[in-house]
Amino acid sequence: MGLVQGVVRRLVASVGTVIVGKEPEVELCVLALLCGGHVLIEDVPGVGKTMLAKAMARATGCDFERLQFTPDLLPGDVTGVSVFNMKTSEFEFRRGPIFAQVLLADEINRATPKTQSALLEAMEEGQVTVDGVTHPLPAPFIVLATQNPIELGGTFPLPEAQVDRFLVKVNLGYLPLADEVAMLDRFQRESPLDSLEAVTDSDEIEACRQQLQTVWCHHSLKQYCVRVVQRTRDHTDVALGASPRGSLGLLHASQALAAAQGREYVTPDDIKVLARRVLGHRIVLRANAELRGVTTAQVIDEILADEAVPAERQAMTGEGS
């Protein structure tokens, strides 16, 4: 697992020169990239959401496109359109910004649900269908979407089908005093983003994705993963629990975390560490639970505390498999 571990360390260190004091959040974005997932970055303005996406693109050396989502944005502005060529008397497809390896969907909740749905096929299947013709997207492909949860004027809530296609949700939050001062020092003269160079490339990322498929997960851990997800559907405070896609996402993210730590096997702690990040945004609480101040994080922590954990020795060695 040395390849994955090395790529993760290089990317986290490189992006960390721009995004100060947020190593866990940066690592989560890197893990999502390596296991083929997408990231929803939700936080208040000015905490570095867009900067994080730009730094990720620079550090990976991948093709990058930024798409500013607005209420008047149309699906064709995302995917591309077919245009009639007068010279050839044929329709030609002009690709939209979605044909990039790293797509920044900035303020995604400002576009209408119809436009947001233009991302569904791309995020799930890595392709776009326009006028009955399917066009494959470049690999690797990752959507880094940002949204502001505070300002609701002129916004449209993300459909559940859209939210479920994001592997993880990241909240950056404000910096502690020392880290914010360090940020001022780094950005005093010029942005570190301007001099950020690629520390990997698309071929190496694809190789990492292939290696992640070999990370071993014991059957008992797969059962544990599914039990945690299923209990979100039965919880009294939950109106809509996590989907089977959530189970698959939790497994893949756990494999990526294990490889990033140099292991060839998943442990129960990998699943427990990632459960909040992978499942939290997929859960819809009941109205009375929200009024009582219940959060999805509390629900997941309660489920993890109650659910029996497989013996780690068995999970590591494969005894009883």
> Smallest Cα–Cα separation from 168: which of 47, 279, 295, 56?
279
Per-residue model confidence (pLDDT) at position 245: 96
- Asked, colleague to colleague, whether 2-202 and 215-317 share their fold, the answer is no
CATH architecture of 2-202: 3-Layer(aba) Sandwich (3.40)
Is the pLDDT at 313 greater than 80, yes or no?
no
Per-residue pLDDT tens for 102-145? Answer: 999 999 999 998 899 899 999 999 999 988 889 999 999 999 99
As a whole number, mean pLDDT of residues 92-102 equals 92
Per-residue pLDDT tens for 175-227? Answer: 999 999 999 998 988 889 988 999 999 999 999 999 999 999 999 999 999 99
Per-residue model confidence (pLDDT) at position 312: 60
Looking at the whole model, is its pTM more than 0.85?
Answer: yes
Sign of the CA dihedral 151, 156, 160, 165?
Answer: negative
Cα–Cα distance for residue pair 56/54, rounded to 1 Å: 5
Is the pLDDT at 319 greater than 60, yes or no?
no
- Using a 10 angstrom Cβ sphere, with 0-12 exposed, 13-18 middle and 19 or more buried, the burial of residue 176 is exposed
Bigger pLDDT: 24 or 82?
24
Tokens representing residue 39 in the block? 């990231």
pLDDT band at 66 (very low <50, low <70, confident <90, very high): very high
Query: Which fold, 215-317?
Result: Helicase, Ruva Protein; domain 3 (1.10.8)
